[in-house]
Amino acid sequence: MAAVLEVKDMGIRFGGLVALKDVTIEVPEWEIVGLIGPNGAGKTTLFNCIMGAYQPNTGTVTYREKDISLLPTHRRVALGIGRTFQNIGLIRGLTVLENCLVAQHPRIPYGAGSALLGTPRSYSDERRARAYAMEVLDFLGLTALATSHLDGLPYGTLKLIEIATVLATDPDLLLLDEPSSGMGPDEAHALGERLIELRKTLNLTVLMIEHHVPLVVGVCDYVYVLNFGQLLTQGRPQEVQNHPEVIAAYLGGEAKTTEETTDVPA
Amino acid sequence: MASATEVLNRPVDDAPARPWTPSVQGWAARLLVLIGIFAAVLLITATRPNFWQERIALAAIWAIIGLSLNIVLGYVGQVSLGHHAFVGIAAFVSAWYVTEQAGCTIERCSFGAFATGTVFAALSGAAAAGLLGLIALRIRGLYLALITLAYGFVAERSIFEIPSLTRGGAGMPATRPDGWASGGEFAYLCFIFLAAVIYVDWRFLRSKVGRAVLSIKHSEPVAASYGINVTYYKVLAFTMSGLFAGIAGSLFAFHSQNVVSNDFSFANATLWVLMVVVGGLGNRVGVVIASAFFALFPYLLEMWTWFAHQIEDLGRAMGNVTIVVGALLALLTIIQYPGGIGEQVSPITRWIGGKRFSLHPDGHGHEKHDEPKASGGGGLMGKLGLSKETDGQKETSRLEALGRAVERPVGDRLPPAPPPPPKSSAEVETPDVWGSLTRTKSGDGN
């Protein structure tokens, strides 16, 4: 089975700082792959390179056997890669529903010309987009908030709305940047269940950056560990969790006891 | 209005009850008020003497300029201090076309020549502004404002001084088209153009184009991650602004009937920025009202003869007073009323737009106050299964199950369910755009 996403020898430097070096990861079909590592390890930078927000110095990104290294971000999104942001990537000032409408941008077929003239087609397309947005919101149980403005909503809810918007882009592959940040343990647990459910119902493949250990262990099929811009190790979550180098990277020393780190609560 | 206990006891599912819509009589009343406003404007225009009709035409032209600038300031979120360049270039192109190319004389000019000249003017304005849009791809904020300033000055000192285009200081004549020559007729012509511009601006904002531009203003990375072509829409927004400015410029040429470069100065550009701010950034109705006000203000002030004499004694023009007043109004707006005129009249505009009458600034006063946050939020969390109370039972068992699930043989990286076939490349190119979530996606997963 070919991988959905392949990143090969990815390297990027900002001035003298080597942010990523020879990172190679593979996300197979239908898996939830975790990407963990201490702060500053280059996880979000890797996401930015995958999405084309940064131009990497070396390496290629392949999506479903198609080299997308040179495509601009919006073309990659149109191919089916959806991405969320570490600090809520939503448009403030628009309502929840409107955010889901913006996110459908490439799916809405009418062009700028018919938009400006207000052709019947643009109206019917808008109606369909609206219905689809409501469907997505309903799917995530957010219908009640459709007309709410974003300001004042709790952080965890905003994270969920962000997932709704990214689903509205109709992705095959989700890149989630710390989806559980700002959530309590219970909420994070529910998020994990929801991710598994999403994968089942929408056939999604997921690559996610996550710090919440129980979530990673519970949900991910495979985990990559980044440290100082390089891959430290990879494997199934429980192997990685007990890997001495990983523990050392997180705790900054040579931790011997694995017991303490495994049941870090949340 | 529901009482507090009613609201609290209401099940969460009822919360997104269908949005309130006015009754047939309600719509009729709204339509009547709207028609009344239009009728009043037209009636006032029809009954004024010719020189006031001329001024009202100018107000309509300024309203188009205001809407043009509103795209850059309000929608894109950048400052343009060089809008007089776009308006001026378009005015000269239009005048040059009808006089030099279409053979209009001081006495006669065909409507066809006027229309063609206006199309050329609009295109030249769009091209000039589109060029600025390309610059704006790389530069933002203060530096872009400086570049627009330079843009304006360069136009003033170079393009406006090409003798064959502007005839130097004497000015390029632009005769009004037959049938639209008097003040009143020309005012109606300007109203028609203003209506068209308002319509396009409305569609611009309400369609995917406007949403794309607004999201780019908020955050380019987020907009790109929504699949929006940032480059395209930024240049498109500037081009639209230039198109409106071009139309306004052409009308301005025919309004003054003899275009001189002094009409397009930096002072005008700053006043236009002020009027958009006073009108309310991004607020169509407010900008139109403020633009008309600023266009008419010096003339209204002249009616106060004592004051007009004082200004005359000082050897100053009324335009100076307008700028001072404009600056003061802008200060007042920024400090006290950030939404501008648009927000002050928003209860009326929202009501006409089919909402309940409400003085609440957000326009959803009723819904907001009726439903306490706690009930909506808590209920939502429950519904999502995000709170402990609702699925405490599932909690332990499911996490354990998840834990066990990962203890599979090392080689087995594939999930138990057969993975679905990947989308073929053809499918990716032309996706089933409106496939519903359930239809396209579920079913084959498990």
What's domain A3-89+172-262's architecture? Answer: 3-Layer(aba) Sandwich (3.40)
The predicted-structure confidence for A151-209, as pLDDT tens digits, reads as follows: 888 888 898 899 999 999 989 999 999 888 878 888 888 888 888 988 888 889 999 99
Judge: B384–A221 Cβ closer than 8 Å, yes or no: no
What angle do helix axes A155-168 and A96-103 make, rounded to 10 degrees?
30
- Say what the pLDDT of residue B429 is: 42
Subunit contact B441:A172, Cβ cutoff 8 A: no
- Is B221 within 8 Å of A237 when comparing Cβ atoms? no
Q: Is residue B69 part of a domain?
A: yes
- Measure B9 CA to nearest chain A CA, in Å: 16
B227 contacts A72? CB cut-off 8 A: no
CA distances from A1 to A23, A28, A33, B280 (A): 21, 7, 16, 56
Spell B336-350 as b/e; 16+ CB within 10 A means b: eeebbbbbbbbbebb
Q: Is A111 on the interface with B (CB under 8 A)?
A: no
User: What's the pLDDT at B3?
Assistant: 44
CA-nearest residue to A135 within chain B is B437
Q: Is A136 on the interface with B (CB under 8 A)?
A: yes
Q: Do A218 and B406 touch (CB under 8 A)?
A: yes
What are the sequence ranges of the domains in chain A? 3-89+172-262, 91-149
In a domain, B400, yes or no: no
CB contact under 8 A, B387 and A186: yes
Question: Is the distance from CB of A146 to CB of A75 less than 8 angstroms?
Answer: no
Residue B375: Cβ within 10 Å count? 17
- Chain A 199-238, CB below 8 Å of chain B: which residues? 199-203, 214, 217-222, 236-238
- Residue B133 within any structural domain of the chain: yes
B442 touches chain A (CB under 8 A): yes
- SS3 per-residue string spanning B287-326: HHHHHHHHHHHHHHHHCCHHHHHHHHHCCCCHHHHHHHHH
Q: What is the pLDDT of residue B373?
A: 37
Whole-angstrom CA distances from B110 to B106, B114, B181, B384 are 12, 7, 11, 67
Asked if A80 and B428 come within 8 Å (Cβ–Cβ), the reply is yes
**Rounded (10°) CA dihedral A214, A19, A45, A32:** -40
CA distance A165 to chain B (A): 8
Token pair recorded at residue A237: 């979550």
Q: How many CB atoms lie within 10 A of CB B101?
A: 12
Does the CB of B391 have a partner CB in chain A at under 8 Å?
yes
CA dist list (Å): B231 to A53, A64, A80, A109, A137: 13, 26, 20, 19, 29
CATH code, domain carrying B155: 1.10.3470
- Rounded CA separation B77/A124 (Å): 30
User: Which residue of B lies nearest to A29 if distances are taken between CA atoms?
Assistant: B419
Q: CA B278, CA B266: separation in Å to the nearest integer?
A: 18
Q: What does the DSSP 8-state code read for residue B74? A: I
- From chain A, the residues in CB contact with B17 under 8 A are none
Full-model pTM: 0.80
Query: Using the beta-carbon criterion (under 8 Å), do B384 and A160 form an inter-chain contact?
Result: yes
pLDDT at A140: 86
Tens-place pLDDT, residues B351-398:
888 888 877 755 444 444 333 333 333 333 333 333 333 333 333 333
Q: Are B406 and A217 in contact (CB under 8 A)?
A: yes
Q: Which pLDDT does position B391 carry in this prediction?
A: 38
Q: Is the ipTM of this complex over 0.90?
A: no
Residue ranges in chain B modelled with pLDDT below 50: 1-16, 363-446
Counting the structural domains of chain B, the total is 1
CB A108 within 8 A of CB A129: yes
Q: B91: domain range?
A: 49-309
B316 has which bridge partners? none
Distance from CA of B340 to the nearest CA of A (A): 17
Interface of B with A in 180-219 (CB under 8 A): 199-200, 203-204, 207-209, 211-212, 214-215, 218-219
Cβ–Cβ contact B404 with A under 8 A: no
- Residue A121 in this model has a pLDDT that exceeds 60: yes
Alpha-carbon gap: B154 to the closest alpha carbon of chain A (Å): 32
List the one residue out of B243, B203, B321, B204 whose CA is nearest residue B68: B243
The tokens for B121 are 């003017």
What is the average pLDDT across A44-54?
A: 92
